[in-house]
A = this chain, B = another copy of it.
Amino acid sequence: MTGVPVTVRVQRQDFDLAAEVQALSTGRHDIGAVVTFSGLCRDEAGSLSALELEHYPGMAEAEITRICKEAVTRFGLQAVCAIHRHGKILPGENIVLVVTASPHRQAAFDGANFIMDFLKTSAPFWKKEHAVDGKERGWVSAKDEDDSARDRWSNTKD
């Protein structure tokens, strides 16, 4: 696994999907598959003015790095990038990006899926909702289904 590039950033500003994919794959002839996951701020009801994302500076980067390195080892990834935004995020805006590269497609899919499941349940970020009427809707509750999604990785061999 030595030398596998793992890029992790926690930042206020938006990310550039194409630039991150380029940075990870340009000039390499050994990559066969690149998977990206973008998580967006969703508001179907039209009642959300913004999400506010609090994080634990230092630990957020450290924990995401641990998750990404685990994915590199587990799935034989060739490169990983994970970026998580913090601060106020409007409906339709990006929250998180994960990019994985591998020789074959399933490893890239599994790696990105694994990173997202652990990022959701282990990376120290918390969402608060602000309603369009100006009121705080309070902190988003953790979902049992996110724990289940994470736990399925303990039940499989690969």
Contacts and interface: CB of A to CB of B under 8 A. Distances in A.
Interface of A: 16-18, 21, 25-44, 46, 91-92, 103, 105-106, 108-109, 112-113, 116, 149
- This chain: copies in complex: 2
B31 A40 contact: yes
A34 B32 CA distance: 20
A23 to B, nearest CB: 13
Given A29-B92, A91-B29, A21 B34 contact: no
Given A27-B92, A109-B109, A40 B34 contact: yes
A10 B41 CA distance: 32
Contact of A36 (B28, B29, B35): B35
Given A33-B40, A42-B103, A149-B106, A17 B21 contact: yes
Given A16-B18, A116-B105, A42 B32 contact: yes
A4 to B, nearest CB: 15
